[in-house]
Structure 1
Amino acid sequence: MIKNGRVQVPLRFVSEAMGAKVQWDGIARKVTVTLGGDKIELSIAKKAYTLNGQQFQMDTSSIVNHGTTFVPIRFVGQALGARVTFDTIHNTIHIDTDNSDENLEQIPIKQDGKSVYNGFIIDLEPDSKLLVGKGLYDTYGSEYTLLNIVVTFDKMDTDIDYKKQYEDVEDILLQKVDSETVAAVMRYLSAKTTAEDMLPSKEFKDTNYKVIVSSRMIDANVNIFVFKN
């Protein structure tokens, strides 16, 4: 997890696990991945990459950490053609290479800036930089989340405003969750105004939905998990 909250994964490990070949050009600082009939090229620290000569954009640039090239998790879905889901409760990334019809919903590519996650309409790139991930309810059942929401407190990024993120959280929850329950969630969130403030895990319920809010000192962010009740 890099400072803007984006998840990155080691490119060679993931690519080779999917049967791809990976080549590194140290002079040009460029990686070439060959998978089936596809050729993917990307340069370190750049968001752009090419797939069979056609240029695409990642949501953040690739990085090198201790000699290992890391790429945004979205890249795995867009360029390598896998279905990717991120289970924040169990801190696990699932990468599924089965591209049968029922598994074609990848991490969504931006389309008019919005997508639908388990019935909730989500702005994929909000101005507040609120992070919203689709849970695994539809894949693994009721013990898994509908939504995984992260409010970030990053002193190094002046564009991040937790108050605006709280507003976006409220707008998302009000789409489905009872207004009184949402009001209780927002009152609880209002107690955290700095990265140092902690919110012990607390559960809020209405007839149909359960919302769990927590913030730990270890990462400073607020995690909000939405379940089907």
Structure 2
Amino acid sequence: MKRIPILLIFLMLFIAPENVKANEMLLQFKNNLLARENKSEATEIKVILDAYPVSFSGPPMITNSTTLVQFRPVFERLGLQIRWDEQNQIIIGQKEGTQIQLQIGNPNANVNGKAVVLPVTPTIVNGNTFVPIRFISESVDAKVEWDEKSRTVIIESKRQFASKDGKFHFTAYGLWKNIADITKSVDTGQMDVFGAQLAIRYFNYTLLLIYSDPKTADSLKNLKLAEYLEHVKKGRNIAKKEIIEEKQTKLFGFDALQIKYMNGNDWDKRIDTLLAFESYSHFYTILNSSYEDTYKSSSKQFQEILDSMTFRES
């Protein structure tokens, strides 16, 4: 605890009308200092992996600006099979396409045969083995962020997705769930996902949907892309007053149209971003839908997904 300045104590004792009051003030001051220090000490480091907390028997710690955690809970949550060489004190974590090797007290690690210098060496504390969490997470291509305010390490694992027809492939991070077989409900943002080539939902109820429409369909014959977009608007009951933005763009080398609009069909307001483009034989729609309060982060996430997305029609 920090020492209470002598001058402050002196003033409190002699300025207060009564010594009793001064003593009460002094006691309150001490209690406030203790409360602040105890609060700081009680703010333990938390780890969230794919939206769920990771439990440890020994609390995470920070050494030289590097967060270290017990290796086993994180390895298991990241899908790594564990081998422990007691004699040489070597940890080996393995999953398809990845092998990580660390040694207690050794600043050099090995990932898929390549040497990596660790910021802090693995160590044993009270019988628990601690390793740098960022290194472990990034070794399996997971995303890692540090929230200073809440003292939380946020990890999102890497996942690969493909549409039913195999034309779209992309990478997404975090806890996404396939909702293609779920009927219209809160899980689907009150949207009908029937017929979608892809329908997935993030843990915060952001949705990503992909639709495909053959140009040979009676209702789509001879339509231009702009006319197809009007067809989509009508089918989704998107009124002109709900449209926030509409623009031309490019997607996979094709001309595309993009609209951003308010979606009031769910229990709370959503902001949807819809992309429409055409190939030689089909029209395609890619839709990202998020609640208004998560739109900013969802929009960034959607752009990252688009940047990773590939399209091949045949």
Decide: shared fold, TM above 0.5. no
| TM-score normalised by L of structure 1 | 0.42
More helix by share: 2
